[in-house]
């Protein structure tokens, strides 16, 4: 019995609480691992095959914490990702292929092998104290969610926010977790100085789809309540409708924007599904396992938005796609924005207040 057949038979058992339906080899691995049935299991009890996947969390010996980019279609030039891998298990996550650099699979390994930057706060403070450092908005949670389950105990993200707060350094956060409310004390303080902007990712309002697509992330209802709570507390919060998956969640565009506007969203943006490297296989396998009746249609629509391919990394169109279907999505989004009074995402944060606080042993200036 081949691995794919076993996955098809036991998909509900194997995927419970996880996004990917398999663990394909990374693009740098020399060998591939395939599970096969050797007959040594009880046919009447197929659950024996569905071993429970444990999440393993390990420190990441990073020597720096700020990642810089020069991409012309990204509104920030620096970011911090406290974690590598993400237990939320979002099957569409464009960061999945980065696990291949660790000789791990972009599939289940990505959501069960989590690495945290243990000394992130100290590394950040060291960087910010450099004489030639020039402040600009820092983005958190761009690759992996900085408020994923591991953050509850590790508090790496909170330690980073404490440093940014002390330096009056502007920052933005993208998350789909209600855990961000834990740090409301810091967020309200920096919001008063125009140093923060939050984007809550809302992909769907369909709880069943969310459970399959983002199994360990907050439910859509909790994200809306989180958005409402942040905005009520004076922390400017918008909605990132991302990713838009043609034929799967794009019918919800107008409804998502409407309920987020009711929750107080001050800005809105969207991104079209991206499928770089191994993510093509991970997403296709998931789609065929959960939605076999429309898998071919969804993949066809994606190709129509990507010049006949499943992914296009060209600057300027990788986030929105091209072609008639992509243009329809874009037009619908902008019309709904205009109707609801939700502007595009703008990072208009104050960088003029940046100042390094006194370090232990420093003397205050005379004047």
Q: What is the pLDDT of residues 103-152, one digit of tens each?
A: 999 999 999 999 999 999 999 999 999 999 999 999 999 999 999 999 99
Q: What is the DSSP string of 174-205?
A: EE--GGGGGGHHHHHHHHTTT-EEEEEE---S
Residue 330 pLDDT > 70: yes
- CATH number of the 3-47+56-340 domain: 3.20.20.70
CA angle 141, 144, 145 (to 5 degrees): 60
Backbone angles phi, psi at 172, to 5 degrees: -130, 155
Residue 282, judged by CB atoms within 10 A of its CB (0-12, 13-18, 19+), counts as buried
- Portion of the chain with pLDDT greater than 70, in percent: 87
Most confident listed range (9-18, 28-37, 127-136): 127-136
CA distance to 99, 120, 125, per residue, from 132 (Å): 33, 20, 14
Which pLDDT score, from 0 to 100, does residue 51 have? Answer: 56
Backbone angles phi, psi at 80, to 5 degrees: -130, 130
99 contacts 105 by C-beta, under 8 angstroms: yes
Which pLDDT score, from 0 to 100, does residue 2 have? Answer: 44
Which pLDDT score, from 0 to 100, does residue 1 have? Answer: 41
pLDDT band per the 50, 70, 90 thresholds, residue 284: very high
285 contacts 21 by C-beta, under 8 angstroms: yes
CA distance 43 to 37: 11
CA distance 338 to 125: 41
CA distance to 127, 161, 194, 216, 351, per residue, from 358 (Å): 15, 17, 22, 41, 19
Residue 266 pLDDT > 70: yes
Starting at the edge strand that comes first in sequence, how are the strands of the sheet with 66-68 ordered?
66-68, 78-80, 138-140, 171-175, 196-201, 237-244, 268-272
CA angle 208, 213, 219 (to 5 degrees): 55
Which pLDDT score, from 0 to 100, does residue 61 have? Answer: 87
Which pLDDT score, from 0 to 100, does residue 27 have? Answer: 85
CA distance 50 to 11: 9
Question: Beta strand 113-116 with 138-140: parallel, antiparallel or unpaired?
Answer: unpaired
Residue 268 pLDDT > 90: yes
Which pLDDT score, from 0 to 100, does residue 8 have? Answer: 40
Which pLDDT score, from 0 to 100, does residue 32 have? Answer: 67
Residue 183 pLDDT > 90: yes
Torsion sign over Cα 83, 85, 87, 89? positive
CA angle 97, 214, 154 (to 5 degrees): 75
Rg for the chain (alpha carbons), in Å?
22
Element (H, E) at 210: helix 207-213
Q: What is the mean pLDDT of the chain?
A: 90
In this prediction the pTM is 0.89
Domain ranges of the chain: 3-47+56-340
Residue 46 pLDDT > 50: no
303 contacts 310 by C-beta, under 8 angstroms: yes
CA distance 212 to 91: 8
Among 213, 218, 184, which residue's Cα sits nearest to residue 198? Answer: 184
Residue 49 pLDDT > 60: no
Q: Looking at residues 324-345, what average pLDDT do you find? A: 93
Which pLDDT score, from 0 to 100, does residue 36 have? Answer: 55
Q: Looking at residues 193-220, what average pLDDT do you find? A: 97
CA distance to 34, 210, 253, 349, per residue, from 236 (Å): 48, 25, 21, 11
Q: What is the DSSP letter of 116?
A: E
CA distance to 17, 71, 119, 137, 189, per residue, from 63 (Å): 33, 23, 9, 21, 30
Which pLDDT score, from 0 to 100, does residue 144 have? Answer: 97
- Portion of the chain with pLDDT greater than 90, in percent: 82
Residue 7 pLDDT > 50: no
Is residue 227 helix, strand or coil? helix
Which pLDDT score, from 0 to 100, does residue 111 have? Answer: 97
Which pLDDT score, from 0 to 100, does residue 339 have? Answer: 96
């Amino acid at each position: 019995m081949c691995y794919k057949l076993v996955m098809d038979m036991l998909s509900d058992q194997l995927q419970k609480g996880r996004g990917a339906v398999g663990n394909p080899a990374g693009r740098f691995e020399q060998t591939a691992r395939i599970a096969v049935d050797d007959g040594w299991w009880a046919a009447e009890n197929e659950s024996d095959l569905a071993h429970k996947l444990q999440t393993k969390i390990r420190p990441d010996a990073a020597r720096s914490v700020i990642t810089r980019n020069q991409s012309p279609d990204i509104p920030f030039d620096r970011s911090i990702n406290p974690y590598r891998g993400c237990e939320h298990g979002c099957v569409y996550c464009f960061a999945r292929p980065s696990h291949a650099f660790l000789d791990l699979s972009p599939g289940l390994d990505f959501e069960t092998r989590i690495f945290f930057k243990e000394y992130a706060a100290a590394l950040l403070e060291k960087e910010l104290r450099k004489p030639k450092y020039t402040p600009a908005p820092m983005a958190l949670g761009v690759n992996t969610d900085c408020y994923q389950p591991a953050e509850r105990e590790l508090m790496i993200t909170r330690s980073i926010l404490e440093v940014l707060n002390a330096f009056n350094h502007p920052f933005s956060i993208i998350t789909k977790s209600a855990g961000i409310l834990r740090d409301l004390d810091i967020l309200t303080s920096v919001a008063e100085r125009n140093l923060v902007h939050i984007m809550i990712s809302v992909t769907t309002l369909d709880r069943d789809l969310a459970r399959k697509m983002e199994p360990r992330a907050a439910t859509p209802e909790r994200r809306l309540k989180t958005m409402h709570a942040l905005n009520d507390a004076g922390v400017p919060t918008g909605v990132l409708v991302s990713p838009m998956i043609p034929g799967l969640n794009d019918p919800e565009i107008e409804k998502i924007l409407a309920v987020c506007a009711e929750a107080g969203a001050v800005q809105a943006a969207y991104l079209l599904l991206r499928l770089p490297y191994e993510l093509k296989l991970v997403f296709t396998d998931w789609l065929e396992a959960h939605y076999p009746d429309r898998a071919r249609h969804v993949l066809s629509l994606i190709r129509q938005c990507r010049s006949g391919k499943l992914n296009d990394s060209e600057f300027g169109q990788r986030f929105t796609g091209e072609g008639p279907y992509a243009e329809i999505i874009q037009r619908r989004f902008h019309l709904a924005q205009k109707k609801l009074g939700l502007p595009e995402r703008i990072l208009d944060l104050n960088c003029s207040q940046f100042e390094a606080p006194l370090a232990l042993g420093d003397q205050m200036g005379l004047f």
